[in-house]
Structure 1
């Protein structure tokens, strides 16, 4: 019974019942025609009146079935049209309703049934296809785990995933789904994060690593402390974001909606005028049918839903149709150096001693003592090295004064310690008698970030840190150019020499170095004044002003940031650089499909109009062609849901690892 009720309430019950009634009508009509032509009896003229009466009765019954088919298929259409009218909206349903009712009034039951039946089939196909284009959302919902194994009072208990408590220890065994967002507190394992980041290669997880709900274990055993449950998980936020994005209208869609509000009444006026001038009611009703802008109305939303769904499956969250359209127009991309072009894990590489009275360890000790109270990312490698060499500072400096764009000034045991660039020394009147600037320039030209260390007005040494360039950074820049981006710009607070070394290695087009956060904003604004549509890739903290000013703000590695998922125009869930050109390429293809769909819809209407006035296009033929154009538009948009040559599922480094594993496997097989 439940299955029957589900079918009755589904999209296909109306067209199926209407279609069966049409078939019955044709069958009855055929039988009636056969009865009217019976001539086997030599006394046929005696029974002619009886045969004629019988045939007339049967033909009337055929008309009843055809009218019933029109009513079944057209009832819902008329109801929608009336509701729209009550809301002062003249839509497609009204055009079809008027045409069908008019056909019934003039006795053309077949045309009424054909028009409503084909329209009902088109509506069912549209609904089914839109549901399919939303499959990315359905897949995300499907990966949400139902149960979790938690450790309570030393025992393993299986509970619904929604009943896990914050801070509770969850056990993730081989093959199981991770039920919560959390931090690994014990164990090791390989986690497939494809549902979150779009990457197909499992990621090794060890203590202190982060895991996400909806991912799956491919080996090992993990104990995870829950830090996000239920609606607070990354997966739940992604589902919410994709749902909102697929419903958000693009500017083109908003224009089409406004156009259709004027277009539909215009079609009705045209049909009325044509009927009055030609005195042909059938012509007027046919114009109503072929003027339906169904393909035009659905051309944009189906493409947007398909494009955003495809992106979500690949670990790219696009905020909505408007941002998708804007992304297709991007001509310049601005990227921050640290954490984007580089891995964001700088290491101490050099310690240059300038004071003959000191050694390498003492220069490191002073530098670490000064950086102990700094929040700057470059402080971490200095402190880590000092700790490893046994000269880590005890406690923190008395005062720490950051000097934006130059360095910091610290009070260490009553002595003033400066650590930063030459402008910092100039600002505090430190004379460079030991070639500190020259040593800094030499290190910077090698792609390292130098910091001069000065104690009580005397430069004692230079320390340098270097951040490894991401292996796929040059490939990302090349693919951005292939995707139609004219200019890739680096914005960094680092020195010119360091920036140029990184830029040369990655193929960056334009470099802006030694920038403060507000300077980055100025560069972005200048690029916009030059006519560029610009995307800014940053960490959302120091780059916040530039991100807000850019046409599109992009957040990388957003899976670990709830704020990035909710606020970024484009959120790249993983840390794969190649997702950036992929997102722009996908946006361009989606907009191209939107334009193709609009062209198909308009050409169909023009051709049908010409056919009506030239003769030969009936109401049923018009509706058939109209629904065919709707299906063509939908099929065109569905191409976006497939992976193709433009997709960048994994970076070069991961492809290399796979190749190595395959080679190793072949060697084992050969052995």
Structure 2
């Protein structure tokens, strides 16, 4: 259809020597485009009428038919083309893929190793559908837990990021009767799990279900243009009909329909949205549809996940306590602090544990030119740490239990400090050389740079409440929230708990935006009025969200809010321009100042004005220093 319109314009206005009757050929092209464009528009109008809704598609259909009747083929083709272009632009940005749910389903384990008892070792591989509540399942290192259940034998570190969003693996054991969730990974150790929930009844299964339900509920949202058309369309049709009856001038009645067709309104709204989307992309903000701008501009409450959103989501060395070691106190004169760090990194690089990775990363930043020493007799003590002989030194790295096992004594002051760090949610690691503690490290998640500045900016812009939700313990949540400008902070929440929390706030007629980054945030992202994903999050989260902050840059959040307000204002400006133009055309038509030709000139000029106004938005610099509403 676009090819027909472009061809018609070229034939009509460009001098083509070998073409004699250019006007006739151009009219044929316009006629074909008008007929082709009328078909899908008319079908939508009929569907709306069946639902007892007078849509703008009905007005456009009548206008196109009227233009064809009076021989204004160019107007029929251009009106149909503009309307369809506007719909294509909006639908392409509003349509969200449902492959996110399929990705979640693909993550679910399809088979499991079933054993007859907690002490049995001969496992049978069976389909997950064959597992029943009460069955015993063997889970080995590197395997995914296939069901919800309770550990009845063994212990190990479990990565539950898909459920709780927390990146640090948790130590769980049969001794503590710890619960495990489907979708989590056993990073080390071996456990036997007694099944309590299978398939759709697991926490992971309920995540998928909540996302599906919330996605379906969002498809019923009506476009602003549809709401407007409920009043505008019947008014124009009635005016046109009344004019035809009172004046017996069919051409005048049809002219009213043609000039009354809101061309500037049809193209003005999508072009504002596209300009806003383009500006967002330049700022590192991906917006998936026009509705997201309107929703974000009306947000009252911003709810944010902790790990990966307000924090970096990666365990890192947060605190260090070093002991000065005089050379005379050790049989090895070269034993200084930097040397201790090098030995520690040499051991930790042999491990894949997240805490070990944090130590190696810290040492490499501290000493970029570090060279590692190959350790000997390397040994991993599950749940405690590592030990080895490195450069003729006995090196022990781990928690207090590991130090006790090696008869290494921790000073009372170190014990007090370690307890304080643990209370603050940090994992405490000791580095001991030749039986003497040298360094104490606190490892945990760290707050994103500029996170607090972004929160304060949102508050200045008018966000009434800022709330943090997390699957981490309340103790850790309290420690993090004490450093951020938040109104509330809640911990110990499973994915469905976050979604339920948001539903509770929505019950008070407040607009909620949720910001998250992990699969576990899926239900909350889908349930919230607006879902915002950090760009370094999972592909699933990015797909089911409405807005994506590229590179997980938290400073883009207040910019996105300012962008939403600017885009909505620009949209309303274009609506105003379109309505004023229509009013001028109708008044001019009845007073005799405007006819079909001059009316169409004003009509096309109004389209140009709204496009220029939208381009003004795409080139503006966003000022996030908004006043409180």
TM-score (norm 2): 0.53
Shift of 1:643: 4.7
The partner residue of 1:346 within 273, 291, 316 is 316
Structure 1 residue 546 and structure 2 residue 524: aligned? yes
Aligned counterpart, 1:475: 453
Residue 535 of structure 1 is aligned with which of 513, 526, 530?
513
Listed as ranges, the matches of 1:392-541 within 5 Å are 394=378, 396-397=380-381, 439=417, 442-443=420-421, 449=426, 464-492=442-470, 499=477, 502-513=480-491, 515=493, 519-541=497-519
Distance in 1 separating the partners of 2:571 and 2:561: 15
User: Of the candidates 92, 97, 108, which is equivalent to residue 60 of structure 2?
Assistant: 92
1:83 aligns with 2:83: no
Shifted more, 560-569 versus 383-392: the winner is 383-392
Q: Over aligned residue pairs, what C-alpha RMSD do you find?
A: 5.6
> Which residue in the other structure is 2:9 paired with?
15
- Listed as ranges, the matches of 1:202-221 within 5 Å are none
Structure 2 contact 517–541 (Cα < 8 Å) conserved = no
Q: Residues of 1 paired with 2:307 and 2:358: CA distance?
A: 14
1:500/1:259 Cα in 2 relative to 1: closer, same or farther (>3 Å)? closer
1:312 alignment partner in structure 2 = 281
Q: CA deviation at 1:476?
A: 1.4
Deviations 1:520-555 (A, max 9, x none): 445434433344323333331454443343333333
- Provide the secondary structure at the position in 1 that maps to 2:281: helix
Tell me the equivalent position of 2:559. Answer: 582
Aligned residue in 2 for 1:222: none
Q: For residue 592 of structure 1, what is the aligned residue in structure 2?
A: 569
Cα offset, 1:472, TM superposition: 1.8
Question: What is the CA–CA distance in structure 1 between the aligned matches of 2:446 and 2:572, rounded to whole Å?
Answer: 43
Structure 2 SS opposite 1:574:
helix
Find the structure with the greater CA-based Rg: 1
Of the candidates 593, 609, 615, which is equivalent to residue 638 of structure 1? 615
> Compared with structure 1, are the counterparts of its residues 20 and 448 closer, same or farther at alpha carbon in structure 2 (3 Å cutoff)?
closer
Matched, 1:556 2:534: yes
Task: Judge conservation of contact 1:81–1:93 (CA < 8 Å) in 2.
Answer: no
Tell me, what secondary structure is at the counterpart of 1:511?
A: strand
* 1:621-636 superposed matches below 5 A: 621-636=598-613
What is the distance in 2 between the residues matched to 1:341 and 1:644?
Answer: 26
Listed one character per residue, the Cα deviations across residues 546-568 of structure 1 (whole Å, up to 9, x for unaligned) are 3343333333233x854344333
Greater mean deviation of Cα atoms: 492-501 or 535-544: 492-501
Shift of 1:462: 8.9
Partners in 1 of 2:253 and 2:535 — Cα distance?
Answer: 58
Structure 2: how far apart are the matches of 1:641 and 1:340? 28
Q: Please, which of 526, 531, 550 is the counterpart of residue 573 of structure 1? A: 550
Q: Quick one: distance in 1 between partners of 2:582 and 2:255? A: 12
Give the superposition deviation at 1:397.
Answer: 5.0
Please give the secondary structure, in 1, of the residue aligned with 2:566: helix
Quick one: distance in 2 between partners of 1:532 and 1:444? 37
| 2:261 partner SS | coil
Deviation for aligned residue 1:276:
1.9
How many residue pairs are counted as aligned between the two chains?
Answer: 435
Is the partner of 2:559 in helix, strand or coil? helix
Match for 2:589 among 604, 612, 632?
612
Call closer, same or farther: CA 1:376–1:646 in 2, change over 3 Å: farther
State the TM-score, normalizing by the size of structure 1: 0.51
Equivalent residues in 2 for 1:367-406, closer than 5 Å: 380-381=357-358, 394=378, 396-397=380-381
**3-state DSSP of counterpart to 2:299:** coil
Distance verdict in 2 for CA 1:390–1:466, change over 3 Å? farther
- In the superposition, relative to structure 1, how do residues 83 and 546 fare at CA in structure 2: closer, same or farther (>3 Å)? closer
Q: CA deviation at 1:347?
A: 0.6
Q: What does the per-residue CA deviation read over 1:30-70, in whole Å, with 9 as the maximum and x for residues that have no partner?
A: xxxxxxxxxxxxxxxxxxxxxxxxxxxxxxxxxx9998599
Report deviation, 1:644.
1.3
Residue in structure 2 matched with residue 271 of structure 1 by the alignment: 240
Residue 376 and residue 338 in structure 1: after superposition, are their counterparts in 2 closer, same or farther (change >3 A)? farther
> Does the residue aligned with 1:289 lie in a helix, a strand or coil?
helix
Q: Where do 5+ consecutive residues of structure 1 fail to align?
A: 1-5, 22-63, 105-111, 137-248, 354-360, 401-408, 413-417, 421-433, 454-459, 649-671
Quote the residue 1:236 is aligned against: none
Q: Does 1:289 align with 2:283?
A: no
How has the CA–CA distance of structure 1 residues 375 and 298 changed in structure 2, closer, same or farther, with 3 Å as cutoff?
farther
Q: Give the 3 Å change call, closer, same or farther, for CA 577–84 of structure 1 in structure 2.
A: closer
